[in-house]
Every structure is written in C-alpha cells, then in structure tokens.
Structure 1
Amino acid sequence: MKAGALTSWFGKSEIAPPADIESAALRSDRFRLEREGEWRRLDEIVTRMEGGGLRKVTDDDLLDLPRLYRIAASSLSVARETSLDAATIDYLESLVQRAWFQVYGPRQGFFRWFRGFIFGGWSRAVREIWLDICIALFAMVAGTLVGWLLVARDTEWFYRLVPVQFADERQPGASREVLQGTLDVTEGAGGLTAFAAYLFSNNAGVSILAFALGFAFGIPSILLLIHNTALLGAMLWLFAGADLGIEFAAWLSVHGTTELLGICLAGAAGLHIGRSMAFPGKLSVLDAAAASGRRGAVVMVGVVIMMIVAGLLEAFPRQLVEEPASRFAIGGTFLAFWLSYFFLYRPRDPLVST
C-alpha cells in the first residue's frame, strides 16, 4: 500500500510535512514582528514601575499602560488559539501577569497602608461594628456574673472554670496572706520578657479563636466570651472573699483594660461576620460575609496590636508597680486612650478607606 493510501486510511499523517512546519514558523514570526514593538514598550514600562514605582514613569506611559496591557492580553489569547511557538506564549504569559499587577494591583505599599490603618482605618472599622461590640460586652459581663454565682454556690465550680496553670496558689481555702502574695510585685525584671511572650501568645490565641468561631453564625464566639469571663468571675469571687477585691481589680486593670477590650473586639468581629451571614439583608450571603470579613479583618489586625501591648503591660508594669492607685492609673489611662481613639478620633480625610 502506498504512502498516500496510508494517509487516506488513517485520516491525517501523524508527522506534519516540512511545508506545514515552515508555514507555522513564518506565521509565528509574522505575528510577533507585527506586535513586538508594543510588547517591548509595555515590558519597559512595567520594568520601570517594578523598579521605582510611579516616579520612573512618564504621564504618557501611564496613559498608554492600559491600552498596551489589553493588546498584550489579546495577543496572548490569539497565540494560544493558533498554537504559536511555546517561547512566544511563555513570554506573553509572563508579561501579561506582570502588567496586570501594575494595572489592577494595589497602589500602596505596606507603610502607606499602615499609616492609613492607624490614622482612621482601624477606629472606623471598630465604630462600624458597634452593635456587635455591645452584644459581646453584654456576653462578657454575663459570663463574669455567671462565674461568680456558680462558684459562690458550689466551690467545685472553681476547679472546673479555672485552669490549673492559672489557679496555682489562688484557690478556695487559701489564706489572705497567700492571695496577697500573688498580687505583689516581682523583684527585678529578669525573665519577664519570656513571660510577656507567653502572655501575648495566650491572649492572641483566645482572640483569634473568638474571631474564627464567628463564621458559625457568631454563637460559638458568644459562648467562648462567656466561658472566658466566667473564669474572671470565679477569680473575683475568690479575692473578694478575702477582702482583696480592690487589690485584685487594681492588679488586673494594668493589663486587663487593654486585654479584655481586645478580646471583646475580637469576639465582636467574629459575631459581626456571623450576624451578617444570618441576616444578609439585600446582599447575598457570600457578599455579606465578604464585606463583614474585610471589616472584621481590619479590627483583628488592631486586636493583635492590643494583645502585644497587653502582654508587655502584664509582664512589666503589672509586675513592677505595687500601689493599687498607680495600677488603677495605668489601666485607666490605657482604657481612656483606647476609647478615645475608637469613638472620639474621627479624621475628616482618612488616608485609606476600609
């Protein structure tokens, strides 16, 4: 059987004739030559923007950037459909990806974003979830009362609510002197840095968990807030029973005004997401969750900052300042600062919209 018969029998030959290969090569070269000038110009503009931002790009280049990007994207689509050579396709894929980032990517660096976050973005996000903050605060107050009442009724609840690592000598039956000793200052600051790192890790973990649980319609976040503050209620009952309620409140206020407020904000951010999913209003559930998630994420970045501050306060001033009045002054100052920043500080021209 002749070669022509074999070709007609199987449809098409598996090996392209030399003429077809040459034609494809010519077509690819012609395609590239017709558009290569615009590709190279786009490449040069993107390279300058990657190296120095907008400072190294002229106004004419900025005006041409979207047009050149669309040409490159269209060329890539044609190159794929016509199966041009792999080198051309790889070059266009890389160029289009880099140009897309410059055309549609973020326009600000980290420091500009952080400046906008501090000077208005964070406080505005907190104010936008004020209703969820009220709900979270109510849950925390209720949890504190529940913890106090449970332990007052049955001291066995103390051991169920307070973890062993927090109880140590602070447990029912301890003398006033022993409890007072747990509130005294630490001699020197040696080892407090590691203690601060541990406290930050613990507090941040609780806050992140309270936020993450909000996706289950916010109910687990509320339960977590109640459980955590039930521990606080149990400890308040213990020290109040030994006539050390004021001293314990002063000891706690140094870091507690920052830490508890941060946990409240984290729980409120999670609750905000859950509430928006349960009651999306005119938006779809996904759109409502996305919008509340972005707002909650801004709040959570700030909560991490608050946990760092609380860890430092817990490890240093709280362990080195002895007088209750001084401790109350530190805690009250930070509480006034946070509340003023969140609810009174309202810049007219925010740098970054959240």
Structure 2
Amino acid sequence: MNAAVYTPSAIETAALRSDRFRLEREADWKRLEAIVTRMEKGRLRGISDEDLLALPGLYRTVASSLSIARETSLDAATLAYLEGLVQRAWFVVYGPRSSLWTWLRGFLGGGWSAAVRAIWLDVLIAFAVMVAGATVGWLLVSHDPEWYYAMVGREMAGPRVPGASAQVLHETLFGQPRQDGLSLFAAQLFSNNAQVSILAFALGFALGVPSLLLLVHNLAGLGAMAWVYHQAGLTLDFAGWIAVHGTTELFAILLAGAAGLHIGRSMAFPGNRPVLQATAEAGRRAALVMTGVVLMLVVAALLEGFARQLVNETLGRSAIGGFMLMLWSTYFFAFRGNAGLTRQQEEQR
C-alpha cells in the first residue's frame, strides 16, 4: 500500500513564504530599527558614522520590503511592523530638523523681518499703489458721489454715505456697537481685508498685475469713505477710528501685495537664473512673509474686537495705532536679530 502524498495547505504555504521573506531581510529591519530608536531618544553619540551613512539606504530597503509585503499579501503582523518602522524612519530621514519652538524663535527673532527686507522693492511699489488707490477713491467721489457705491457698496456702507449728517457719522465712530452696527461693519471690514491679503498673494503668479489691482480697489474704497467723513469735518476722528487696527491690518495687506508682486516680478524678470529657480526662491521668501501676515491679521482682529471698543476717544485710538505702526516699522526695517538661524533652517529643508 502506497503512502499518502502530503500536500501543504494554502495557509501553511503562506506562512512559510512569510517566514522566508522575513528571515532574508530581518537583519536590515533590525539594524534600521536600532538606529531610529537611538535617534528618537536623542542618543546620537551612540550611533556610529557607518550607521549614519547607511541610514538612507536602509530606509529605502525597508520601504521596498513594505511594498513587496503589501503586493504579496504577507501576514498582518509583518505588514504592521514594517508600516510602523517605515513611518518612524521617514521622520528621522526626511522630517524637520528643528522643533516648532526653534523654528518660531528663528522666525520671530529675525527671519520674518529679513524676508520683508529682502522684498523691499516690492514693498515700495505696493505702498505707492496703495497710496494711489486711496487718492483715486477720494478724487472720484469728490467729483461724483455715485462712485462711492461702486467702491464701497451699500451693504457695507450702511449709514456712512455721501450726504449723511455729521451727527450720524459721528455716532458711527463713537456710538455703542449695538446701536449703530459698528461691530458688524468692523467684522465686514476685517473679512474683506483678510480676503484681499490672501488673494493679493495667491494671484501674484500672474506677473503681479492682479495683486496690484486688488490693492488699488481696496484702498480706493478706504479713500472714498475718508472723503465722506472729511466732508462732515470728522477727518481726524475717522483716522483715529481706522488707526487702531488699520496700521496693522493695512500693513498686512501691504506685505501680502508685495509678496504676490515679488513672485510675479521674479517670473517676469528672472535675471540670469532659470525661471523656475527664480520663482522657487521668490516663493520661499514670499511664503515666509505671508506666514507673518497671518499673524498680523490675528493681531488686527484682536485690536479691532477689543481696543477700538474699549477706547472711545480719538487721541487714545491714534496713540494705539501710532504705537503699532512704530512697532511694525521698527521690527521690519531696524531689527536684525538672528535671521541667520532661519536661513540655515531653510537650507536644511
């Protein structure tokens, strides 16, 4: 009687394949895991130069093993182990080289101001365009008040319209928010300026032209509204009302427009560099500026929501606005700090 031929089951075959796959590659996995564990614990001195040089190659080897394991449907335990190891190794090999606190210290300690100074020409151009926009708005409305509604809009204007009495306009500046809707108007103004800042930066790729047009349109509305208060003899009161948050908010718009223009100008005039290289370098500087713009908008929102409501007289509002303008100007154009730290971090990335 012939002995029965033993045929391994599908489960046994899969287990044998998984064991063989693991035995062939496990040495590299364990070596990578040991290196990653030491680096996660900050024990860099315990890692040899040989292991550090081998780290990128080991990472790619284990990542390849994970890809094969997924395709061949190896056991769940092996897949889970490899996925966890590859994820940990990725952060060690490609993750950020500095902590959030270190980056923030470099950013606020000179990196942001250095980025703003690096685009000084674009800042000057954007500033000139904003002044021109406010002037155009003032002149257009002074010649034909109907232009006011095209630049400001009836919903946003509310009672602040050409021909309104000085008493009504005065109440919009110093009255209680629940009586005249000042809080709603302030929220609308902040939302509008935040959108302008984002769009002015985002549309910079179109050679900077849309960024400049947005600045003109936004400041034309401000100039038109300033004329309305000027006609009522409330120019200084209106300036103080705007200054509380405006010196921060308008500065943020200025930087956002300059950042967008910087990208567009680098695309149009790359110099001796390839267009992609010039645009990439400009994009990194502009992105750093825009990170700060977001911070400025948050500060402006706080000033708008608290300082302007708590301080109900022109001199105090002007003092707050003047102080913020001096603070931003000093930081951007006089403060140097440790900008080199941020540059080193960018080079590492």
> TM-score when scaled to structure 1?
0.81
Q: CA RMSD in A?
A: 3.2
Matched to 1:67, the amino acid is: A
1:311 to 277, 301, 309: 301
Structure 2 SS opposite 1:205: helix
Q: Deviations over 1:4-62 (max 9, x none)?
A: xxxxxxxxxxxxx99xxx9999998667535422321212332454xxx352x342326
Report the Cα distance in structure 1 between the residues aligned to 2:265 and 2:294, rounded to whole angstroms. 23
Structure 2 SS opposite 1:226: helix
Matched to 1:155, the amino acid is: P
Matched to 2:283, the amino acid is: G
Aligned: 1:335 with 2:320: no
Matched to 2:243, the amino acid is: S
- Matching of residues 127-276 of structure 1 within 5 Å: 127-186=117-176, 200-276=190-266
Structure 2 SS opposite 1:174: coil
Q: Is the 8 A contact 1:113 1:352 kept in 2?
A: yes
Report the Cα distance in structure 1 between the residues aligned to 2:182 and 2:162, rounded to whole angstroms. 28
Which segments of 5 or more consecutive residues in structure 1 lack a partner in the other structure?
1-16
Aligned: 1:73 with 2:60: yes
Which segments of 5 or more consecutive residues in structure 2 lack a partner in the other structure?
1-6
State the identity %. Answer: 57
Shift of 1:104: 2.8
Q: Deviations over 1:155-198 (max 9, x none)?
A: 1101111122331111111111111111105379xx99998766
Report the Cα distance in structure 2 between the residues aligned to 1:80 and 1:301, rounded to whole angstroms. 37
Report the Cα distance in structure 2 between the residues aligned to 1:76 and 1:211, rounded to whole angstroms. 38
1:320 to 310, 320, 323: 310
Q: 1:222 to 1:333 in 2, by over 3 A?
A: same
Q: Is the 8 A contact 2:114 2:339 kept in 1?
A: no
Q: Is the 8 A contact 2:266 2:275 kept in 1?
A: yes
Of stretches 334-343 and 196-205 in structure 1, the one that deviates more from structure 2 is 196-205
Query: What's the counterpart of residue 115 of structure 1?
Result: 105
Q: 1:46 to 1:79 in 2, by over 3 A?
A: closer
Q: Is the 8 A contact 1:127 1:342 kept in 2?
A: yes
Query: What's the counterpart of residue 87 of structure 1?
Result: 74
Q: 1:193 to 1:156 in 2, by over 3 A?
A: closer
Q: 1:72 to 1:134 in 2, by over 3 A?
A: closer
Q: 1:96 to 1:134 in 2, by over 3 A?
A: same
Structure 2 SS opposite 1:281: coil
Matched to 1:233, the amino acid is: G
Aligned: 1:302 with 2:304: no
Q: Is the 8 A contact 2:263 2:279 kept in 1?
A: yes
Structure 2 SS opposite 1:144: helix
Q: 1:173 to 1:58 in 2, by over 3 A?
A: closer
Q: Deviations over 1:47-89 (max 9, x none)?
A: 454xxx352x3423263144144145247659979x9955399
Report the Cα distance in structure 2 between the residues aligned to 1:54 and 1:349, rounded to whole angstroms. 29
Q: Deviations over 1:296-354 (max 9, x none)?
A: 11111111111111112122222221222211111000000000111111015643225
Query: What's the counterpart of residue 32 of structure 2?
Result: 42
Q: Is the 8 A contact 1:69 1:100 kept in 2?
A: no
Shift of 1:280: 1.4
Matched to 1:285, the amino acid is: V
Q: Indicate the structure (1 or 2) with the bigger Cα radius of gyration.
A: 1
Q: Is the 8 A contact 2:110 2:335 kept in 1?
A: yes
Structure 2 SS opposite 1:351: helix
Query: What's the counterpart of residue 59 of structure 1?
Result: 45
Report the Cα distance in structure 2 between the residues aligned to 1:250 and 1:303, rounded to whole angstroms. 22
Q: 1:24 to 1:309 in 2, by over 3 A?
A: closer
Q: 1:157 to 1:47 in 2, by over 3 A?
A: same
Q: Is the 8 A contact 2:14 2:74 kept in 1?
A: no
Q: Is the 8 A contact 1:139 1:222 kept in 2?
A: yes
Matched to 1:320, the amino acid is: L
Report the Cα distance in structure 2 between the residues aligned to 1:106 and 1:348, rounded to whole angstroms. 19
Of stretches 68-77 and 300-309 in structure 1, the one that deviates more from structure 2 is 68-77
Shift of 1:100: 3.6
Report the Cα distance in structure 1 between the residues aligned to 2:48 and 2:342, rounded to whole angstroms. 23
Matched to 1:279, the amino acid is: F
Report the Cα distance in structure 2 between the residues aligned to 1:326 and 1:132, rounded to whole angstroms. 32
